[in-house]
Structure 1
Amino acid sequence: MLFLNDVKDWLKQFNLAEHYYMGKLDNKLDKSIGVYQLNANRTPRKCIGGLESYDIKPISILLHWNNDANDTERQAYDLYRKISESRDVVINNIEIPYIEMLSSEPIDVGTDDKGIYERVIELNIYYKI
């Protein structure tokens, strides 16, 4: 089984943020990346004929950066590119044959209550079960 914490730890290898978290964090620190479950109703994929079964972990990544819109956008694109170019991924000893980016770029979600710019990257992580 692939867990949010596993994905959070995998994202650390890209060395982009100062802080990483999963789930809700009330006092988000600048230059943070958060990992959330993307709301999607999925059923396990069962393959027939000797192929391995797989499941999909729908993920939403929040990049909570700083009060500079340009800097936030550039960091979000850098993370997007690094994820989309990842190959031969293994997360917590689980083989990831495919990562599906659900949008063509990071999604601008504006600022939080403190004026910190945020971007969201949505993806499906296909993993063997």
Structure 2
Amino acid sequence: MLLSGIREYLKTQIDCPQYYLNKMGGSQDKSITIYNAPGQVPHIAIGGLENTTYTTKSISFLIHWGKNSDEAEKKAMEVYNLFFGQSNFTIGDKKIIQCKMRSSEPIYLGTDSEGIIEYIIDTTIYYER
């Protein structure tokens, strides 16, 4: 599973003027950046790789969303709720088994040097191999 596939899925679900992968670019006041995140040790079933039915992808979403606190929090919650507790859907050609959030809500990071409000959301996606 690639970040670009996750970005394409997000584009169909979340209204956002700009998406970035692994590095925030430009000077957009409103954007979502998707990062690869440190994850778990790879899961391999007893019996080897041929018996392993799933794997994981750990990602972080940086919600960089204007100077209005209420709007920024709402956008962060929109992204969070898209994945929280979700299962049995597809991203590209990958069947998602489950999404596990690594916090109980988006984490407020404060503001950047331009006063833009930022939140981070960490999740691990379990998907079929």
- Tell me if structure 2 keeps the 8 A contact 1:28–1:64: no
Q: Does 1:76 align with 2:76?
A: yes
Aligned equivalents of 1:54, 1:3: Cα separation in 2? 15
Q: Does 1:45 align with 2:40?
A: no
Secondary structure at the counterpart of residue 103 of structure 2: coil
Gaps of 5+ in 2: none
Gaps of 5+ in 1: none
- Aligned partner of 1:38: which letter? A
Q: Deviations over 1:46-98 (max 9, x none)?
A: 22479642211110001111011121011111221122254422112111100
- Aligned partner of 1:54: which letter? Y
Q: Does 1:101 align with 2:64?
A: no
Aligned equivalents of 2:20, 2:116: Cα separation in 1? 17
Greater alpha carbon shift after TM alignment, 77-86 vs 94-103: 77-86
Please provide the CA RMSD for this pair: 1.9
Aligned equivalents of 2:52, 2:117: Cα separation in 1? 41
Aligned equivalents of 1:43, 1:15: Cα separation in 2? 30
Q: How many residues align?
A: 127
- Tell me if structure 1 keeps the 8 A contact 2:14–2:79: no
- Aligned partner of 1:27: which letter? G
Aligned equivalents of 2:27, 2:125: Cα separation in 1? 25
**Which residue is 1:7 aligned to?**
6
**Which residue is 2:66 aligned to?**
66
Q: Does 1:114 align with 2:114?
A: yes
Specify whether residues 63 and 39 from structure 1 end up closer, same or farther in structure 2 by C-alpha distance, changes over 3 A only.
same
**Which residue is 2:34 aligned to?**
35
- Aligned partner of 2:95: which letter? E
- Aligned partner of 1:117: which letter? I
Specify whether residues 70 and 59 from structure 1 end up closer, same or farther in structure 2 by C-alpha distance, changes over 3 A only.
same
- Tell me if structure 1 keeps the 8 A contact 2:108–2:120: yes
